[in-house]
Amino acid sequence: MAHAADDRSQTRNVVLVTLDGVRVQEIFGGLDAEVLRSTLAEGQELAKHPAYQRYWASTPEARREKLMPFFWATLMRRDGSIAGNPQRGSRVQLGNTMRFSYPGYAELLTGRAHDETIDSNDKRQQPFPTVLEFVRRKLGLPRDKVAVFGSWDRFEVMPEHEAGSLFVNAGFMPYPDPDPGIRRLSDMQEGASAWDEERFDVFTSAFAMAHLQTARPRLLYVALGDTDEWSHARDYPRTLEALHRTDEFLRELWAWLQSQPQYRDRTTLIVTTDHGRGRTVKDWSDHGPGLEGAQDIWIAIAGPGHRRRGEWSDARTLRQGQVAATIAAEFGLDYSEQDAKADPSIDDAQ
């Protein structure tokens, strides 16, 4: 990173949040009326649809703020910036050509694409060391100080090359907690799920917040997945609602961080996604090799040492793999020590 040394030294903690398969179209433009129209039942009027009435506005800026009010009206306006809006001359792209989840998360966490090794979503241990393991080892942190909470069960194995090196809670793993409310959620999570391999984000976010408040991790990764599941089901209204709920989680998370001396003005928040999706009403729900649009993603960063606000404009193209080195740099670490071929950290001063 190219922040001044005194700015970088303020960062003591990093929180990474990923929103699975969220398109640049919704992040930067809010509700896509043509996509919503394509999902209507015969005879159903667009203007009378509850999602249209709740999230439609005449400009992309107004629509996205209705969909994600905290993210756009507060976080990006006051505390951070976001890259990836091609309408503003900013792009963030995948390095991998797979354009689906495991390769995307692996690129994000290891610092570069591994198409020759990672070409499926099979549930297997991460083949390469990740930045999460690197930070824990370099800082000599206890296991619970680098924590991962994921909705998808692949996060039981995906964040770590060495099994057991991180605190991981994903899929339907129980989350033991002294709070009876959290314990009830832990007991309910599998029975309440709509999917075989993934719990609802409400459980993941609740467990992550509980761990944040009790264990006080230095590096926390929260991987949410409702947006991808509802997109694959071509349920656009539920996709929008999932994104809106994610905004509520980000608001709760950021407010809590700023209320705690350990985290206030000492924490960098990075929000991004694992892959994009198709650009048309036909393929908006899909992603994968060769599908145009699925290579386009976005990255938002907020925290000390990051002076840029709002959207990046006329900027150099970023790559997904740069997230790993950026996380390391927030702790004053050089990620090339782990992988000399990894993508460099993001310089948001440019």
Domains, the chain, with CATH or none: 5-337 (3.40.720.10)
In tens digits, the chain (350 residues) has pLDDT values of 333 333 555 899 999 999 999 999 999 999 999 999 999 999 999 999 999 999 999 999 999 999 999 999 999 999 999 999 999 999 999 999 999 999 999 999 999 999 999 999 999 999 999 999 999 999 999 999 999 999 999 999 999 999 999 999 999 999 988 888 898 999 888 888 889 999 999 999 999 999 999 999 999 999 999 999 999 999 999 999 999 999 999 999 999 999 999 999 999 999 999 999 999 999 999 999 999 999 999 999 999 989 899 999 999 999 999 999 999 999 999 999 999 999 999 986 55
Tokens 């840029």 correspond to 308
Structure tokens at 85: 């809006």
CB 153 within 8 A of CB 175: no
Which residues does residue 198 pair with via DSSP β-bridges, in sequence order? 152
For 216-250, give one letter per residue: b (16+ CB within 10 A) or e. ebbbbbbbbbbbbbbbeeeebbbbbbbbbbbbebb
